[in-house]
Chains A and B, each alone.
Chain A
Amino acid sequence: MERPDWKERWAGLFFVAPFLLLFALFMLWPIVSGLWNSFFNTSLAGVKHEFLGLQNWQDLFGDPAVWSSLKNTLVFTAMSTPPLVIVALAMALLANRKGLLGWLLRFSYFAPFVLPATVVTLIWVWIYQPGFGLVNGLLTAGGFAEIDWLNTENRAMLAVVITTVWWTVGFNFLLYLAALQGIPAQIYEAAAIDGAGGRQQLFRITLPLLRRTTGLIVVLQLVASLKIFDQIYLMTDGGPNYATRPIIQYIYETGFTSYRIGYASAISYLFFAIIVIVALAQFKLFSGREETA
């Protein structure tokens, strides 16, 4: 057995120290202090706080705003994830070609992704505007009634999902495109020689070989969708009548607008637990798939 080289070990630690320090300061410490705060009625205003035990946690389970905003987050995730994966795949298949058309498609599919949230929401709020917006203009031109998208309770979330797909599908598209371009051309050549048509090539070669990429995209997308906040805050501010308010916005309102940091920490922990469960479930499914592939 080789003697452990402590000098080398210390050198390694030295190199990762800057990261470790920042990680501990800005990740580990807030996580611990958040848990600690959830047992107190800590106020942002700095007035005296006292130990509450499990009071915050009890309140949380009886607070309908927690559950309705959590439901909104989950509804958004369920509505946005499938199109963000399927549309990205379709776009990648279309754009995976040489020449000017391929370049144009790649450019226009990815372009919205580089815009900041503020710009995207500004554009889409105008598009959804009743009276003079693009969508309602098309609806009335086609003989349909106008819809006040962002102010109607069962339409607002759909409107946000459509905006989100337009804005962020470019990233998933890029991952798919890279994966497509990684499939060796010989496989298709061999298949063509064996008489496989385009449809057979797609279902027997392309899609199976993209399976790992799909797994990755689904994981990333689920986590990103669960963290929904920006678009909703900017487009509907959680309205109408809280029909789109995601849980992160409720945490923000509780902790920072109403100064109730203790209670907000407790809700954050509930949400943290849900994300961990989703991630673990995903990991199980994902790793299972890889073995069979």
Chain B
Amino acid sequence: MPPVPPSRPGRRAVLGGLLGALTLTGCGALSSKPRVREWNLFGGGDGARLLQIHQQYVAEHPGVAFQAHTLAWGPPFYTKLAMSAAGGRAPEVATMHMSRLKGFSPTTMLDPIPVELLAAAGVQQSDFLPATWDRCVIDGRLYAVPLDQHPFVLYYNLEICKKAGLLGPDNKIKPVKGVTPFLDMLRAVKETTGKYAVSVDTTSPWRLWWTLYGQLEGEFFSPDGKELVIDDAKALEALDLIAKLASEGLTPRSANYAALVAQFSNGEAGLSFNGEWEVTTYQTAKLPFSMAPFPVVYDVPKFQGDSHTFVLPHQARRNADDTKATIEYIAWMLKHSVEWAAGGHIPAYQPVVQSQEYLDLKPQAEYRSVAPNVFYDPDAWFSGSGAQLENESAAAFSGIATGQATPKSALAQFKAATQKLLDTPSPV
């Protein structure tokens, strides 16, 4: 960091600033419109989609003072949200990963969702898959409204896969099952591209590993969540496969998220393993591609994933009008989630999932069948999208593809780090 050169604001600037601040704080009380401030973490292709949906919401709701803010994904977002909720001056509504809900200390940092207001806005429990809804209920109170599910999927380049002979007569990729057919498919793609078969984020292999480990029916924590019961043989089998992909040159030895997107966009890779949220990016780039469920490489269909939900971060002085408008905003977003689905995510609101409009969305409806098999991150205060456990896995596992670490040493490091987190008394 550079030494900061001293700057001296003038006396008038300081006084003016103070006066300005005083008058500004008075303003909020004068406005009679209900206020809905929304914080979200959608910085990718899905964020562009959200802006469009919000424009429509604002046009249809002139009576609501609506403001949306997109913050950097992961720790920066959750840090800011936690700070605002801890201080009781949070925005009216925010997005949150379902996997982060319990670790966010709902009883102190979130306000429960008034179910009767939600019902009045036309949304009830029966509109969701029971497994999804149940995850949002903590101590008998509803703390989140699910918006979508976002599984780890397979993207494929139509031209490359056609040349490699992987497409069926319907122009869709032929599903493969088992390790050998999976590797054969990848080798065929590599031969066609002359470079890589698949683009993956090797710096953060959590999603790939957790998918494979889930397909092997591996356990992580004991049912009471107090012990680490990771199955070494299964965990190593999945890590060995990741190492093999890199050493054969089927995946890059080192690629971060930006490189993953670039390598699939420019045809260096004919397949891509990623969450489904980059669909808008590739559509905008006019790439000939489609999407499918991630192959069942091992025994059972499991696909790492998560859900985005709406939560009410804690406000010390919650205003009834604002809350009502906020709940109506959430209901409106759910009912318009077919536009959200166009960005890749599978809607959580079942009336939309069953609508013809959603079924007609291609390639977004191609992988909707995986929704019941979405495999959430382990349940712990330090786990969830972008949380500490994923960071520890990235630190330990990123050396596997580059060859700087063996699967065995990487697993040992990851287990030690997880055990340390488990031994830390929960701060929530």
Contact = CB atoms under 8 A, between A and B. Distances in A.
A215 interface: no
Contacts of A153: 399, 404
B368 to A, nearest CB: 33
A206 interface: no
A171 B105 contact: no
12 contacts: A43-B105, A45-B82, A47-B428, A148-B253, A148-B402, A151-B254, A225-B1, A231-B1, A239-B395, A240-B398, A256-B82, A258-B382
B2 A167 contact: yes
A171 B5 contact: yes
Interface string A123-142: 00000011000000000000
Contact of A46 (B108, B387, B395): B108
In the A-B complex, the 6 residue pairs with the smallest Cβ-Cβ separation, listed nearest first, are A45-B105, A43-B427, A168-B2, A46-B108, A259-B427, A256-B79
Interface in B70-85: 75, 78-79, 82-83
B203 interface: yes
Contact of A130 (B2, B254, B404): B254
B105 A241 contact: no
Contacts of B427: 41, 43-45, 47, 258-260
Interface residues of A, number: 38
A41 B428 CA distance: 11
Interface of B: 1-3, 5, 14, 75, 78-79, 82-83, 86, 104-105, 107-109, 203, 253-254, 256, 259, 382, 387-388, 394-396, 398-399, 402, 404-405, 413, 424-425, 427-428
Interface in A77-126: 113, 117
Contact of A256 (B83, B109, B259, B405): B83
Interface in A247-293: 253, 256-260
Contacts of B424: 258, 260
A253 B2 CA distance: 22
A151 B82 contact: no
Nearest to A262: B427
A78 B386 CA distance: 32
Interface of A: 18, 41, 43-47, 113, 117, 129-130, 148, 151-153, 167-168, 171, 220-221, 223-225, 227-231, 239-242, 253, 256-260
Contacts of A130: 254
B83 A44 contact: yes
A60 to B, nearest CB: 13
A82 B259 CA distance: 34
Contacts of A113: 2
Nearest to B109: A45
Given A41-B425, A44-B83, A256-B82, A241 B2 contact: no
A228 B1 contact: yes
B1 A242 contact: no
Contacts, number: 100
A46 B254 contact: no
B75 A253 contact: yes
A17 to B, nearest CB: 13
Contact of B388 (A230, A231, A240, A258): A258
Nearest to A221: B3
A117, A221, A240 — which one has the most chain B CB atoms within 10 A of its CB?
Answer: A240
Contacts of B254: 130, 148, 151
B105 A47 contact: yes
Given A45-B104, A152-B402, A224-B3, 10 more contacts: A44-B86, A45-B86, A47-B427, A171-B2, A224-B1, A229-B1, A241-B399, A257-B75, A258-B388, A258-B424
A241 B5 contact: no
B10 to A, nearest CB: 13
A224 B2 CA distance: 6
Contacts of B402: 148, 151-152, 240
A241 B382 CA distance: 18
A66 to B, nearest CB: 12
A46 B109 contact: yes
Contact of A230 (B1, B3, B14): B1
A153 B396 CA distance: 12
Contact of A241 (B14, B108, B259, B395): B395
B402 to A, nearest CB: 6
B3 A151 contact: no
Contacts of B82: 44-45, 256, 259
A241 B259 CA distance: 19
A231 B256 CA distance: 17
Contacts of A253: 75, 388
Nearest to A228: B1
Given A253-B75, A259-B427, A220 B398 contact: no
Contacts of A242: 395
A125 to B, nearest CB: 9
B3 A171 contact: yes
A273 B281 CA distance: 49
Contacts of B109: 45-46
Contacts of A44: 82-83, 86, 427
Contact of B398 (A129, A223, A241, A259): A241
Contacts of B83: 44, 256
A212 to B, nearest CB: 17
A221 B2 CA distance: 8
Contacts of B1: 117, 168, 224-225, 227-231
A154 to B, nearest CB: 10
Contacts of A41: 425, 427
A241 B203 contact: no
Contacts of A221: 3
A41 B424 CA distance: 11
Given A151-B203, A167-B2, A46 B79 contact: no
A130 to B, nearest CB: 6
B385 to A, nearest CB: 13
